[in-house]
Amino acid sequence: MQHWLIKSEPDVFSIHDLVTAKKKTTHWEGVRNYQARNFLRAMKQGDLALYYHSNAAPSAVAGVVEVAHEAYPDPSAWDPASDYHDPKASPENPVWSMVDVRLVEIFPREIPLDELRGVKALAGMELLRRGSRLSVQPVTAAQFRTIQTLASRRPAQRP
């Protein structure tokens, strides 16, 4: 099993939106970065992903989802009415992919980016690299476990 991190702006699609989604599952469309697309294509059914709320106040890891369906063509790319339209894409040349994800867990507390930056065990995490903007990225098993552990703890008290 591999581990991942996927980002969404909570005002676009929050992890809480999965609670009301059919079978707590949704498709993860709209990825328009080739490296992130390749990571989507590498995902396998049953892989787990940290669900990250980006462009939030504060940006934070909010929970865990599972890959419910492996990569398949993203039809929003060839829909001119879609925000994710790409004129180079078509059903014959899909270019972009998406996966389906299913809610596993909403953390009892979100772990904000500032807190993640202060955890030594996460020092090499892609999310914490300056300038990293990938919406889909790999996470090591150790990083995944560290974040799950953080989510179950009370936030650190600052003096």
Query: Which neighbouring-strand residues pair with 99?
Result: 28
Please report, as a single letter, which amino acid is at residue 108. P
Model pLDDT for residues 93-147, shown as the tens digit of each residue? 999 999 999 999 999 999 999 999 999 999 999 999 988 889 999 999 999 999 9
Q: In this structure, which CATH number among 3.40.50.2020, 1.20.1250.20, 3.10.590.10, 2.40.160.40 belongs to the domain 3-152?
A: 3.10.590.10
Render 35-88 in DSSP notation, one character per residue: HHHHHHHH--TT-EEEEEE-SSTT-EEEEEEEEEEEEEE-GGGG-TTSTT--TT
pLDDT band at residue 157 using 50, 70 and 90 as cut-offs: very low
pLDDT tens column, 45-91: 999 999 999 999 999 999 999 999 999 999 999 999 999 999 999 99
Confidence of residue 158 (pLDDT cuts 50, 70, 90): very low
| pLDDT at residue number 23 | 87
Instruction: Check whether 36 has a pLDDT greater than 60.
Output: yes
pTM: 0.93
